[in-house]
Amino acid sequence: MTSPLSGQAPDDPAPRPLGVAMIGYAFMGKAHSAAWRTVGSHFDVPATARRVIVGRNAGQTAEAAARYGWEDSSTDWREAIHREDVDIVDICTPGYLHAEIAIEALKAGKHVLVEKPLANTIAESTAMVAAAAEARDHGVQSMVGFNYRRVPALAHARQLIADGRLGAVRQLRIAYLQDWLVDAASPMTWRLRRETAGSGALGDIASHALDQAQFLTGRNVTEVSGRLRTFVEERPGPDGPEPVTVDDAAWITAELAGGAVATVEVSRMATGVKNGLRIEVFGERGALRFDLENLNELWLMEATGPVTEQGFRRILVTEPGHPYLDAWWPQGHIIGWEHTFTHQLRDFLTSIRTGRPAQPSFEAGLQIQRVLAAVEESAAAKSAVVQVDSTTPTHSSVPAKETA
Amino acid sequence: MTSPLSGQAPDDPAPRPLGVAMIGYAFMGKAHSAAWRTVGSHFDVPATARRVIVGRNAGQTAEAAARYGWEDSSTDWREAIHREDVDIVDICTPGYLHAEIAIEALKAGKHVLVEKPLANTIAESTAMVAAAAEARDHGVQSMVGFNYRRVPALAHARQLIADGRLGAVRQLRIAYLQDWLVDAASPMTWRLRRETAGSGALGDIASHALDQAQFLTGRNVTEVSGRLRTFVEERPGPDGPEPVTVDDAAWITAELAGGAVATVEVSRMATGVKNGLRIEVFGERGALRFDLENLNELWLMEATGPVTEQGFRRILVTEPGHPYLDAWWPQGHIIGWEHTFTHQLRDFLTSIRTGRPAQPSFEAGLQIQRVLAAVEESAAAKSAVVQVDSTTPTHSSVPAKETA
Amino acid sequence: MTSPLSGQAPDDPAPRPLGVAMIGYAFMGKAHSAAWRTVGSHFDVPATARRVIVGRNAGQTAEAAARYGWEDSSTDWREAIHREDVDIVDICTPGYLHAEIAIEALKAGKHVLVEKPLANTIAESTAMVAAAAEARDHGVQSMVGFNYRRVPALAHARQLIADGRLGAVRQLRIAYLQDWLVDAASPMTWRLRRETAGSGALGDIASHALDQAQFLTGRNVTEVSGRLRTFVEERPGPDGPEPVTVDDAAWITAELAGGAVATVEVSRMATGVKNGLRIEVFGERGALRFDLENLNELWLMEATGPVTEQGFRRILVTEPGHPYLDAWWPQGHIIGWEHTFTHQLRDFLTSIRTGRPAQPSFEAGLQIQRVLAAVEESAAAKSAVVQVDSTTPTHSSVPAKETA
Amino acid sequence: MTSPLSGQAPDDPAPRPLGVAMIGYAFMGKAHSAAWRTVGSHFDVPATARRVIVGRNAGQTAEAAARYGWEDSSTDWREAIHREDVDIVDICTPGYLHAEIAIEALKAGKHVLVEKPLANTIAESTAMVAAAAEARDHGVQSMVGFNYRRVPALAHARQLIADGRLGAVRQLRIAYLQDWLVDAASPMTWRLRRETAGSGALGDIASHALDQAQFLTGRNVTEVSGRLRTFVEERPGPDGPEPVTVDDAAWITAELAGGAVATVEVSRMATGVKNGLRIEVFGERGALRFDLENLNELWLMEATGPVTEQGFRRILVTEPGHPYLDAWWPQGHIIGWEHTFTHQLRDFLTSIRTGRPAQPSFEAGLQIQRVLAAVEESAAAKSAVVQVDSTTPTHSSVPAKETA
């Protein structure tokens, strides 16, 4: 049997590359493909081979394989994950398929990377956590793809907070604003139906925002008050007007363990804002600011020295000493959004090599699902505060310099 | 009897200047004094004379009179407002004194400008509204000093919204962030005691934020969910540690008549932010952005023309065609915070001259008090939504070009 | 005889306010009037009285007197400056009148503040310097109005540089961009005729830029290369098309004593830029950035600490500890362009009180005129480098905390 | 013989991928490798194969081949370019080697992409132009790698200008600021010796700035005034202090055909600025602004509509309709610096497929060399204006929608 830790049989003279099967070839499949193609040229990670890409439509999948450089294509995810030359399964399907594929892959001893959200339901998520925990005992890694943890500026921010540079954090303000649904005439899609998408902006982008709240502070959300809104209640479907059954926007006021308060506001109708994940963190001795549309910048304020010289400073996060940056270009030569996926693979492959558990774990993914569920419960109860089920162990302690 | 409309007896050959009595000489007194000194040199308004400034401490009040250019000083507000040469009473005292002074002045037929908040209680506010309504029937003007309505960029924003440039407004994001209480060792003051201040950040700065939400959209807040937090629960008082009994920060999710959702977040502990009243308005066809720390700028986005050329544009609000600006300097020569008070007087004096009711009226001030009360009620009920008492007539219709 | 130092005769029991005569009532007259009206209410300076405003047109001057609060108006500047109740002469006329008025006022023992540029010719400027030097021996103050030295952010910048915070300065980049002449159809004015205006953008705004280069570094310009351009060579005059005989834009590369290189680019045709005096200073250990359109901000970068945490930080120059700011409002409450004139008077009146020579002196004004003349000479010689006549003593040493 | 146009023999049933040989494996080799690896997955271009990478050090070159995915490595560039399976030669060596390699490759019928600057001398550049012209007659493409033409925001800017959106351009302000030489103790390198580097900031980064001036306007530089400066004249070498024989900074005032004036300021000592290629373009009816550190943004100002609503607007250049962007991610998901190289290959490969001459041609590269030479001549002559040799045909007309 192939050892998932090394990607090679114990006695092989030369290491065999880790074989990858990717399920899904749409937006996320394209982004993940770019990362698989790139990671080995820029980071010191185990060699990988893009064995097979899986999709429903044979022709389109074959075309994606050719375009993105996969050796083979398939319409049978089950067969693909059981291939002997496959060591890693990368799941980029819609959320409702995550659980079945991930659990089968883990049972087959394959490392699993699954796109966020972990799954569409708490039940599925819980089953995935159980499978991941069991597999972990056998050296099999699993990870959920909250790729914004791999934005260098945010990884740097997390480290600064962990180092105490802001003092105790009191307030976080997080907004994730997009505008692709502003036009009331834009058509119905599966993303706007509850049965396929689970939720709207809440699951899609508030999940990122909440993960950042927890990632940056190392603290879990303990209670929430929430409000949801569907501004355009009906959109043109293939057979005429169809009701939109998910939220267009969500507002969350959350309390974190330790007492900080975070606000999260997400919308797909924030006219003029394209992809604005904006984060502000206020601590006793300093503050931080970030915007995904300028993801190479981190703004740091320290309440030290004469007050006449204090202010937020723009750190251009492109120095070799910044997280992940030594792999890229000289200072000032910025990276793009897709690099976060390459960094994610770097960390995932490093976990596979070292055996240290990958982060964010399925447990972390489940914790986010629980927060989202609490938000929906609060929204249904006139925004009254709801406690987040806290049976999950806390998110994770902040490690020292994990990404440096 | 002096006619409050004209400031002169009907048969006078030359108009007598409108005499002003100002009650209070601290921070607001200083700002209002600068405005009274300036307004006549830059705007075409009735002439005024700074007759008397009133304070508790005779020596300090006399000093303030000399410094700020008032003819006389007094420690007796009642006597001052009844002087025959006084036509206008400008109330800059702490809120708990507003009602008594304002009501007596209105009954004496004097125009009244009162600093925000209108009063510390709904009962007092209601009494003031009644007195103002009665006085108005006799041509006596009254106004509450939400001076940020007179920021030219915000007056311009309101007009753009009224003109339909954004389409229907869906979301507002308003934050008012300051940091003067960050240090847990900073001492106790009257502002941190409930009995003197009424509330903390809520009444002081959320009142401005909520007034802007209503001013910009021309719509009243109808329901709110709120949360309050005191981060530093005890501060050094004159006789040792003393409990802080007001909020350091407040979070509000509000619904406006017509269905827009507004979030308001205010804090006195937003490390590194000095006076950040930040406003974003998202409509069906456009959006606006503003920050009080750069109050000469308005950012406008219109979702028209090719999407490849859309974006937020920075309008430097210093053109002669912008509200209030023809009175000042050539384009690009910015104005400061204090100019809002001069503009407020320009509008107040214009109302006195024309007899058109001054805005924001005491009714508008009461409406804000009701929203604040609903926030406190919600905060005490685990953030569950509370309806705002809506017996007040709506805020005001948006007039055409009122400031142009 | 009135003592120019104190504004009172030696034995007077109470000080007489310093009487002011202002010559000119247009744009600069309006700005200076606001400053005279304001300075005593916000700064601890000798009392002043606005005795008389002087202009050519009796009616308009009388109207300006009424509007801006001058006791009297006149069309005879000579008579006005010789009035016994006048101690200070503030000259806001076009440049070609500066020399005659200033010299006569100085000879009459009156303190003189003259708007920049000092005069239109080197000869006039030299005569003014001589008159100022002689008057200074009798305790009579003189100053040229480079008001941007009184922008708090720039005064703060100068102090930081003087304190060595940037190390030796290597490069300065200064641009002063406006756009009021963009439209080729905008009409001819006296500002576009060489005989009345002397020069175009060069004298009007490059003079400010060059003064800042010298003010910030404490070093004089020693040589320049220059280019001038008139983009629109003919404009509609009252009697048909008329040639524009001054520059629309100017480019200067300058060397400063000590070896720093400064570039100055000024234009009245920088489409979309209203009043952009932008300054960047690069030193061995740090850098600074400033833009007049956001004059309350100073951006400071220090090349200290880990490079991963370095960056330009935005200092909001509104703290009580910043130059001039303790006179105004709490932190974060910004000031405007006109405040620079109030600060200028504060410093001028302080010099009158203390007897310390006012800065910038007429000598400093002459030095700028010499640089401008060298630029014109270079421009006429295909941009070949021209030395600046250096018989003038150096600009001024940077004093310790002069404005604090 | 392999047809350079198609990459395949005429009768082949299936096209053979175009084989690539890359000479050089350092910084530029790494960036070009990433582009060769990526271009086919995101753009519709002829297939390519990374046949061989060439360097001096056999071990390091083999390592680079493995890391960056080249099939083979070599230390013999001559042999590599003559390989039958090689159709394209990509030259990433230092400039003094460009001419020999490029000319030999062109003679061998291979398409040539050469990094900027075209060469270190006018003589070499001229020879290269001749070789390219001859090869072009045989369908062989050549191009010089001014990759910033492929920044989507700049390609978009060029199109807007070509479409007349700014009207006639009057002024350009271009700065390219870096700070990697600020520390006077940083050691000597080959880049600081004239014999190896040709020049300093002038050739390295002013070449980009000047290319942009010409690219954006479609006009050639016709005359220049220049100044050069070496701030740190001696740096630690391997055998003790060694003189720096190239410039640290350069200042250029240039005139373009048609009368626009451009300033170019470049420096490697601009403390705190990492990679700031900043461009401003002012036209009769509009203006543009750009900064390479935020390369996904273009700021556009149009002097149309009411002046009260004009301003620079931030276009986030990430829409599918923006140049090159339909190949990447949804709007708001930004790209990085390295993408410019991928875009460059897209355009180069498209020229190979279509036979349309690639831009920027070697002629365009030579034109830049002539401008640089004129700058050096002017700098040696006290900045007196020098005409640029204009025997070269003008740069290129601006094509309609070439990149769309």
Under the banding of pLDDT at 50, 70 and 90, the label for residue C11 is: low
The backbone torsions φ and ψ at residue B225, rounded to the nearest 5 degrees and listed phi first, read -120, 135
In a domain, A397, yes or no: no
Residue carrying structure tokens 């019928």: D109
Distance CA D142, CA C270 (A): 38
Using CB atoms, pick whichever of D253, D286, D311 lies closest to residue C383.
Answer: D253
Same structural domain, B133 and B244? no
Same structural domain, B131 and B188? no
Same structural domain, C215 and C264? yes
Least Cα separation, residue B132 to chain D (angstroms): 36
DSSP code for D205? I
Using CB atoms, pick whichever of D27, D31, D333 lies closest to residue A337.
Answer: D333
- Does A310 contact chain B (CB < 8 Å)? yes
Nearest one of A201, A207, A255, A192 to A228, comparing CA atoms? A201
Q: Do C330 and B68 touch (CB under 8 A)?
A: no
DSSP string, A305-340: S-GGG--EEEEE--STTSTTGGGS-STT----TTHH
Distance CA C336, CA C343 (A): 12
What is the tens place of the pLDDT at every residue in B249-282? Answer: 999 999 999 999 999 999 999 999 999 999 999 9
pLDDT of residue C190: 87
In a domain, A404, yes or no: no
Name the strand (E) or helix (H) holding B307.
none
Which residues are registered as beta bridge partners of C114?
A: C91, C144
In a domain, C346, yes or no: no
Q: Which chains touch C (3 or more CB pairs under 8 A)?
A: A, B, D
In a domain, C401, yes or no: no
Q: Between helices D98-107 and D122-137, what is the axis angle to 10°?
A: 10
Q: Do D275 and A34 touch (CB under 8 A)?
A: no
Q: Do B271 and A312 touch (CB under 8 A)?
A: no
In a domain, A255, yes or no: yes
Q: What's the Cα-to-Cα distance from C107 to each of B238, C102, C130, C137, C233, rounded to whole Å?
A: 59, 9, 11, 12, 42
Under the banding of pLDDT at 50, 70 and 90, the label for residue B190 is: confident
Number of domains in chain A: 2
Distance CA C88, CA C112 (A): 6
* pLDDT at residue C390 is higher than 60: yes
- D78 by DSSP, 3-state: which? helix
Three-state DSSP string of chain C = CCCCCCCCCCCCCCCCCEEEEEECCCHHHHHHHHHHHHHHHHCCCCCEEEEEEECCCHHHHHHHHHHHCCCEEECCHHHHHHCCCCCEEEECCCHHHHHHHHHHHHHCCCEEEEECCCCCCHHHHHHHHHHHHHHHCCCCCEEEECHHHHCHHHHHHHHHHHCCCCCCEEEEEEEEECCCCCCCCCCCCHHHCHHHHCCCHHHHHHHHHHHHHHHHHCCCEEEEEEEEECCCCEEEECCEEEECCCCCEEEEEEEECCCCEEEEEEECCCCCCCCEEEEEEEECCEEEEEEHHHCCEEEEEECCCCHHHCCEEEEECCCCCCCCHHHCCCCCCCCCCCHHHHHHHHHHHHHHHHCCCCCCCHHHHHHHHHHHHHHHHHHHCCCCCEECCCCCCCCCCCCCCCCC
Same structural domain, A120 and A180? no
In a domain, D342, yes or no: no
Distance CA A57, CA A41 (A): 31
- Does B258 contact chain A (CB < 8 Å)? no
Using a CB-CB cut-off of 8 Å, the residues of chain B touching C180 are 330-331
- Does A177 contact chain C (CB < 8 Å)? no
DSSP string, D320-340: TTSTTGGGS-STT----TTHH
What is the tens place of the pLDDT at every residue in A174-216? Answer: 999 999 999 999 999 989 999 888 899 999 999 999 999 999 9
* pLDDT at residue B393 is higher than 50: no
What is the tens place of the pLDDT at every residue in A323-379? Answer: 999 999 999 999 999 999 999 999 999 999 999 999 999 999 999 999 999 999 999
Same structural domain, A224 and A346? yes
Q: Which chains touch A (3 or more CB pairs under 8 A)?
A: B, C, D
Q: Do A337 and D335 touch (CB under 8 A)?
A: yes
Mention every residue, 6+ apart, whose C-beta is less than 8 A from residue B18.
B7, B46, B47, B48, B49, B87, B88, B349, B352
How many Å is the Cα radius of gyration of chain A?
21
Same structural domain, D288 and D366? yes
- Does D315 contact chain B (CB < 8 Å)? yes
pLDDT of residue A190: 87
Is the pTM higher than 0.80? The answer reads yes
Q: Do B267 and A171 touch (CB under 8 A)?
A: yes
Tell me if B290 sits within 8 A of B297, measured CB to CB.
Answer: yes
Q: Best mutation site among C383, C386, C387 for testing chain D: the one with the most D CBs within 10 Å? A: C383
Name the strand (E) or helix (H) holding A63.
helix A58-68
- Domain residues for B374? 149-387
In a domain, A229, yes or no: yes
Least Cα separation, residue D313 to chain B (angstroms): 4
pLDDT of residue B390: 67
- Does A275 contact chain B (CB < 8 Å)? no
Under the banding of pLDDT at 50, 70 and 90, the label for residue B196 is: confident
Q: C179-200: b or e for each residue (b if 16 or more CB lie within 10 Å)?
A: bebbeeeeebeebbbeeebbbb
pLDDT of residue A393: 47
Q: Do C319 and A307 touch (CB under 8 A)?
A: yes
Largest CA distance in chain A: 66
Q: What's the Cα-to-Cα distance from D185 to each of D180, D202, D204, rounded to whole Å?
A: 11, 22, 21
Q: Best mutation site among A313, A314, A318, A326 for testing chain C: the one with the most C CBs within 10 Å? A: A313
Q: Which of C101, C124, C140 is the last residue of a domain?
A: C140
Question: Helices in A108-149 by DSSP H: which ranges?
Answer: 122-136
Name the strand (E) or helix (H) holding B329.
none
Q: Are strands A249-256 and A261-267 parallel, antiparallel or unpaired?
A: antiparallel
- Does D180 contact chain A (CB < 8 Å)? yes
Using a CB-CB cut-off of 8 Å, the residues of chain A touching D275 are 318, 330-334
Q: Which of D140, D168, D185 is the last residue of a domain?
A: D140
State chain A's mean pLDDT as an integer.
93
Task: Please determine, for the modelled complex, whether the ipTM score is greater than 0.95.
Answer: no
What is the tens place of the pLDDT at every residue in A24-47? Answer: 998 999 999 999 999 999 999 999
Same structural domain, B45 and B129? yes
- B305 by DSSP, 3-state: which? coil
Using a CB-CB cut-off of 8 Å, the residues of chain D touching A41 are 33-34, 37, 67-69
* pLDDT at residue B332 is higher than 60: yes
Higher per-residue confidence, B399 vs D339: D339
Residue carrying structure tokens 């003819």: B71
Count other C-beta atoms under 10 Å from residue D10's C-beta: 6
Q: Which of D140, D163, D188 is the last residue of a domain?
A: D140
Q: Do D272 and C249 touch (CB under 8 A)?
A: no
Same structural domain, D200 and D117? no
Same structural domain, C134 and C153? no
Count other C-beta atoms under 10 Å from residue C3's C-beta: 13
Residue numbers of chain D with a pLDDT score lower than 70: 1-14, 390-404
Under the banding of pLDDT at 50, 70 and 90, the label for residue A15 is: confident
Which residues are registered as beta bridge partners of B256?
A: B221
Which chain B residue has its CA at the smallest distance from C31's CA? B329
Under the banding of pLDDT at 50, 70 and 90, the label for residue A4 is: very low
* pLDDT at residue A2 is higher than 80: no
Binding-face residues of A in 4-43 toward C, CB within 8 A:
none
- Does D189 contact chain A (CB < 8 Å)? no
Same structural domain, A124 and A158? no
Same structural domain, D155 and D104? no
* pLDDT at residue B394 is higher than 50: no
Q: Do B332 and C33 touch (CB under 8 A)?
A: no
* pLDDT at residue B14 is higher than 80: no
* pLDDT at residue A159 is higher than 90: yes
Same structural domain, C155 and C132? no
In a domain, C157, yes or no: yes
Least Cα separation, residue D86 to chain C (angstroms): 43
Using a CB-CB cut-off of 8 Å, the residues of chain D touching B321 are 306-308
Residue C315: give its domain's CATH number: 3.30.360.10
What is the tens place of the pLDDT at every residue in A56-92? Answer: 999 999 999 999 999 999 999 999 999 999 999 999 9
pLDDT of residue C397: 38
Burial class (CB in 10 A: 0-12, 13-18, 19+), D176: buried
Residue D99: give its domain's CATH number: 3.40.50.720
The pair of structure tokens assigned to D329 is: 């991610």
Q: Between helices A339-354 and A27-42, what is the axis angle to 10°?
A: 60
Using CB atoms, pick whichever of B41, B292, B332 lies closest to residue C274.
Answer: B332
Q: Do C385 and D383 touch (CB under 8 A)?
A: yes
pLDDT of residue D12: 52
How many Å is the Cα radius of gyration of chain C?
21
* pLDDT at residue C54 is higher than 90: yes
